[in-house]
Structure 1
Amino acid sequence: MIRYINPIVKNLIFTFAVLCITSCGSFLDIAPKSDITDKSFWRTEEQLALATTELYHYFEKFNIVDWDNHGDDTFGNEPNKVSSGSYYPTSDSYYWDRSYRQIRKANNILKKAMYATSLPPVKINSYRGEAFFFRALAYFDLVSRFGGVPLILKTLDTEDEELTYPRSSRTRIVEQILSDLDSAFAYRPKGSEMNHHKDYGRITKYAALGFKSKVALFEASRAKYHGFSGYDPVTGIRGKAREWYRQALDCSRQVMESGEFALFEHLPEPEASYYHLFRHGGEGSPETMIANRFDLDIRTHGRPGQLIMQRKLSLTRKAVDMFLCSDGLPIQKSPLFRGHSTGNNQNSEFANRDRRLVFSVWKDNDPTWNGTPFLNNWNRINTGYCLKKYCVWDNDDPVTSKSEIDQMKLRYAEILLIRAEAVFELDGRISDALLDITVNPLRQRAGIKPLSNSFVTQNDLDMRNELRRERFVELCGEEGPRYWDLMRWKKGEELEGTVLGIKILKSHPNYEKLKASNSLNKDGYYVAQTADKRHFDPSKHYLWPLPTKELSLNSNLVQNPGW
């Protein structure tokens, strides 16, 4: 547990003048030519540290949970436009604008950090390494949503032709992202070489490499499953799939062999490690690779209140059913499964299950922040499976719900999953030896039987599906990974269908209330959203529409297909 005021957190409350954003009405931010402060700023290490700390503003305040509800694994207190397929082109795009603002900041640092000639080159490049990382992150956010976008690698003036650049190909953007992450890896120090008290939260060498493995896996999957055949702004080159899978495999292997990270173990309760990972006990643990820092006196977030008081994020029936029984079998195959709300037990389905389910979901009668039992009053739309991850009150007030729990943007468990998936997608198989160092440590922590090739064969399972299941249950409710997995695997149609929640017993205090409001189906399951309200169009929904304002300002931009 780390509870000190870290320079990253402290400086996140400032936006200093040098990096303040000016706008020319488009996504490309242009620095004022008469910025005298800027010309005299880039001289000392303190100034470089302040400039690069500003980049960490890109990690949001963790109050927004809408992106979690883009997939089929979670549902909020109202329908989500992305998962419902009801979104449309708008004049502005929050994601487009914030990404290009970040790119402008990073480009500015990459150029002007070199002005600090009194510092040794290794020190200058260390700060530039952070800028390379955040430029890569911003471009990854863009390419994930929009496909190919204009590639801007320098700060711009009003006369620069790059202001009206067309979209670069998706492949070109991805290659730049991977190159920037190589630079971050080359320039940033190892975490073990840094001052953990002073520098915790700053990007490290192997954090950058771990993120590269994530990018490479994402783009390899899109290339493989979307059948790219051309070199155009929207798609990419299918032949890159194997190359990028190999990069994902190699980078994840190097991270594992570095010894810089490990799965979190909570002592003296190792069986509850997954639960404590998302609480104070897990902060600063060896599992954390990239952290979004918070502090109760400086920078807090409202995640607990959004989860409990507002019911903004609940697991779906589909998600809960994905968790295995302790014998390693799906609920449809396991004799250990007790059924959905059987007898007089509203919580019967939680028995003999993967521990991650119990540690991820609030059940009726679970003790809450003040010791009172949790009971879903159904005053807001949800599924009955309110998410528990990161749900910690630091001021004992669920209304104001201030929390200082750090958010893990990347953790070591995902690296293990990346390596396993990359190996299988490359060769169509994975050895038991590799399963034992990737997936099975996660299953052991979750209290379920290990995965092996013989186990898959004997129980008529599919290895690819089981690897994907493991990723699903390990990362569910953590900033929307499920939606992006469906997009890269070309499985968008899984967003369709009725969204069900918990099965309500007739003895439940709210049964009559829900029945009277027609919120239950004939089998007693809560209906969060009907199938007719969810639509996925494969001809356009694998990419988001470009903001129309950018199309009007730059005639060289073209809209994505179908929009």
Structure 2
Amino acid sequence: MKKKSLVYLFALAATLGSSCKKDFLNQVPDDRITIDQVFQRREYSEDYLTNIYNYVPNDAYRNKTPWDGCSDDADVTYDRPDQGYDTYPMNLGNWNAASNYFNYWKTFYQGIRSATYFMNRIGENQEILALPNGEALIRQYSAEARFLRAFFYYNLIRQYGPVILLEDTPISGDLAPTDEELQKPRNSFDECVDYIVTELDEAAKDLPKHFTSQNELDYGRATQAVCMALKSRVLLLAASPLYNGNSEYAGFVNLDGKQLINQQVSIDKWKSAATAAKYVIDNFNFSLYKKNNEGGNFDPYLSCRDVFLDPWNSEIIFSRNANNLSAWERSISPRLCNGYSAIGVTQSLVDEFEMANGKGIHEAGSGYSESGFTTTETEYTLANTHNMYVGREPRFYVNVSYNGSPWINTSEGVKVIQTYFSGNSGKKGTWDFSRTGYIARKNLHPNSNPRLSQYVARPYVIMRYAEILLNYVEALNESDPGNPDIKFYLDMIRERAGLPGVAAGLSQTEMRNKIHHERRVELCLENMRYFDTRRWKIAEQTDGGPFYGMNVDAGTRVTDLAFYQRTVFERRVFLKAYYFFPIPQSELDRDRNLVQNPGW
């Protein structure tokens, strides 16, 4: 969507518009506009809506968001919380409700308020209403704001648990901090979910079906498909063990005793999640992105890599056009290319990738070896590559840069990444090294070159079809184990990755483990793993204790065996309280009826 310099003025106007006196607004200089004027002109109203989209998280630059660096998939190198790198103290357990780390509570409620204010006033715009399709356009714009409001609530509940649902009339901005109107209790988690789902269903009625139904300049705006995909996410979250009959939260109540997390396990919640995902599968003509190589043959590596690089392909559901992918690309580039090596992949994630034959590294017949080096090149590896990195599935090479791997950009020749101690991207004498000996590679364009400050602009993918398939098979396995759709759609994802399907006749538990594994690998480094381990209630096992990588304090050459030793780079702390972020202390100070999350 178009950007205007007035956009941030509109955000300010939205905050002031319902609370400032007219005599104050009349003092605004002649070259400024008032909030009333915003809803008299089509251009200004559209700019206001654009500004609401700006509240959609710009999570492309993962160094300063917690979702990857606080998961068991990755590590943010820097121990510099004064510069916003707060994952380090969080992983060590050094934080509390007053730390204010990654405080998105305020941000999302600002987005909610802006969306509500827009919905209340967009119908006043006579310039839009005078158009032949004016009324339909008003309904569409209102539906977009409704979707965005629901999206912001979803982001709140996955981080903080049950939150406060605000009414459709924004609270006045000039109330005293002690005003009773501000003293609001939390709604239950189920109430939050029901509200979000209802809002998404309502919004979808007045939106284009799919981005292919939009003008190209409107790509990235809400559609029916986006609403229904988010509905799938929300219902899967609600069906998961953290929220579905979690007896550990029996004492999680409001001041009046209202239960905030339900205490009865419901299979129907899994059924609803499965139904929602299947609706997206059946009604929007998405497909897994597939790409052929230069010989015209299907290439799993290019398919899994370029699904993020080829804008608005058959798999993309929702993307953010304005983003900071260039910062992400530089942060995951090795130092030899003037990058920062800032996102280290953990040994745990490296071990999760299968071998090319579809077997896990610990399965009999996998062919996995942790000794010796290759003497010849293979399709993905150079000579002198350690055997633990040889013969792995294509997604491993899409997602991970390892010691001895070729750099993705070959415009200046083949460059070999060296993460051992004295290597060109190693620890010796620098901040810019990976503490694990591995560097994230996902969503890095082969034509980008940080050394020349050249980056390939493209949308940042927020939701894609592979996630919907994984949502469906997970919910179906919990509600209808043995249903043939489970294996069919799970195998579809594996086939795109160049792997054989899962064995037939698996038990519900065996299939659950396969689904969890596939979800981790397929969606790794996409801000998903952090929330998955929490909603599954396994984060106490996955996110605490010793974390391993290679021995980055050793090595003078690529084939130095001292480097290839599993070494603890960090001992992380995960307490039960960490399943939810703490509500910021400043919010509790303002709202006497707002109870804190358990353990904080």
- Give the TM-score band, short-chain normalised: 0.7 to 0.9
Q: Is the 8 A contact 1:340 1:503 kept in 2?
A: no
Matched, 1:301 2:326: yes
For 1:323 and 1:30, locate their aligned partners in 2 and report how far apart those are by CA, in whole Å.
54
C-alpha spacing 1:326/1:33, structure 2 compared with 1 (3 Å) = farther
Residues 1:357 and 2:396 aligned together: yes
Summarize the Cα distance change of 1:410–1:468 in structure 2 as closer, same or farther, 3 Å threshold.
same
| 1:232 corresponds to which of 253, 262, 274 | 253
Amino acid at match of 1:277: D
Q: 2:48 aligns with which of 47, 51, 54?
A: 51
Letter in 1 for 2:516: R
Q: Specify the SS of the correspondent of 2:525.
A: coil
Residue 427 of structure 2 corresponds to residue 388 of structure 1: no
Q: Is the 8 A contact 1:393 1:402 kept in 2?
A: no
Residue 471 (structure 1) aligns with? 519
The two structures have a TM-score, normalised by structure 1, of: 0.85
Post-superposition shift, 1:84?
3.2
Which secondary structure state, in structure 2, belongs to the residue aligned with residue 18 of structure 1?
helix
Task: Classify 1:547/1:238 alpha carbon distance in 2 versus 1 (closer, same or farther; 3 Å).
Answer: same
Which one of the candidate residues 225, 229, 244 is aligned to 1:206? 225
Gap change, CA 1:285 and 1:255, over 3 Å in 2: same
Matches within 5 A, 1:6-21: 8=1, 10-11=2-3, 15-20=7-12
In structure 2, distance between residues paired with 1:13 and 1:412: 35
CA RMSD after TM alignment: 3.1
CA separation of 1:313/1:433 partners in 2, compared to 1, >3 Å: closer, same or farther? Answer: same
Give the conservation status (yes or no) of the 8 Å contact 1:61–1:301.
no
Shift of 1:44: 4.9
Cα contact 1:278–1:389 (8 A) shared by 2 = no
Post-superposition CA distance 1:448-488 (Å, at most 9, x none) = 1102433x47xx98111111000000000112x11111110
* Deviation larger for 441-450 or 255-264: 255-264
Shift of 1:545: 1.2
State percent identity of aligned pairs: 25
Distance of aligned partners of 1:196 and 1:474 in 2 relative to their CA distance in 1, 3 Å threshold? farther
2:70 corresponds to which letter in structure 1? H
> What residue identity is the alignment partner of 1:336?
S
Alignment deviations for residues 149-169 of structure 1 (CA, whole Å, 9 cap, x no partner): 222133221347442212222
**Counterpart-to-counterpart distance in 1, 2:212 and 2:458:** 25
Match of 1:97 among 103, 106, 112: 106
**Cα deviations by residue, 1:305-356 (Å, 9 ceiling, x for unpaired):** 1112222212211111111223332211142333235346544223332211
User: Shift of residue 196 of structure 1?
Assistant: 4.2
1:431 aligns with 2:483: yes
Letter aligned with residue 343 of structure 2: L
Correspondent of 1:486 among 533, 553, 565: 533
State the distance in 2 between where 1:341 and 1:73 align: 24
Segment of structure 1 superposing worse, 31-40 or 169-178: 31-40
Change (3 A) 1:121 1:167: same
The question of whether the paired residues in 2 share the 8 Å contact of 1:305 and 1:398 is answered with: no
Distance in 1 of aligned mates of 2:4 and 2:371: 46
Higher RCO (CA-CA < 8 Å; seq separation 6+): 1
Deviation larger for 135-144 or 186-195? 186-195
Compared CA separation, residues 487 and 106, structure 1 to 2 (3 A): same
Match for residue 154 of structure 2 among 134, 140, 150: 140
Residue type at the aligned position of 1:98 = T
Work out the CA distance in 1 between the residues paired with 2:485 and 2:187. 41
TM-score between both structures, scaled by the size of structure 2: 0.80
CA offsets 1:206-225 (integer angstroms, 9 cap, x no match): 11101110111012102236
Unmatched runs of 5 consecutive residues or more in structure 1: 1-7
Offset at residue 382 of structure 1 (A) = 2.5
Say if 1:362 and 1:385, in contact at 8 Å, map to a contact too. yes
Give 3-state SS (helix, strand or coil) of 2:54's partner. helix
Residue number in structure 1 paired with 2:124: 115
Distance 1:337 1:21, change over 3 A: farther
- Measured after TM superposition, the shift of residue 179 of structure 1 is 1.5
Corresponding residue number in structure 1 for 2:170: 155
Change (3 A) 1:334 1:537: same
When structure 1 is superposed on structure 2, of 238-247 and 286-295 the one drifting more is 238-247
Q: Is the 8 A contact 1:245 1:426 kept in 2?
A: yes
SS where residue 410 of structure 1 aligns? strand
> How far is 1:57 from its partner?
1.0
1: CA distance, partners of 2:43 / 2:285:
27
Distance 1:40 1:505 in 2: 62
Partner of 1:373: 416
Cα distance in 2 for residues equivalent to 1:450 and 1:121 = 50
Gaps of 5+ in 2: 26-32, 79-86, 334-338, 375-383, 420-424, 428-432
Cα deviation, residue 30, structure 1: 6.0
Deviation at 1:77, TM superposition (A): 0.6
Runs of 4+ in 1 over 6 A off after TM superposition: 21-24, 503-507
Paired position in structure 1 for 2:76:
76
Partner of 2:29: none
C-alpha deviation, 1:400, in angstroms = 4.7
Give a deviation string over 1:18-63, Cα, whole Å, max 9, x none. Answer: 3226879xxxx96535457211322454444322221221231622
- Contact between 1:107 and 1:155, CA under 8 Å: does it hold in 2? yes
Greater Cα radius of gyration, structure 1 or 2? 2
Partner of 2:459: 406
Q: 1:19 to 1:43 in 2, by over 3 A?
A: same
Corresponding residue of 1:496: 544
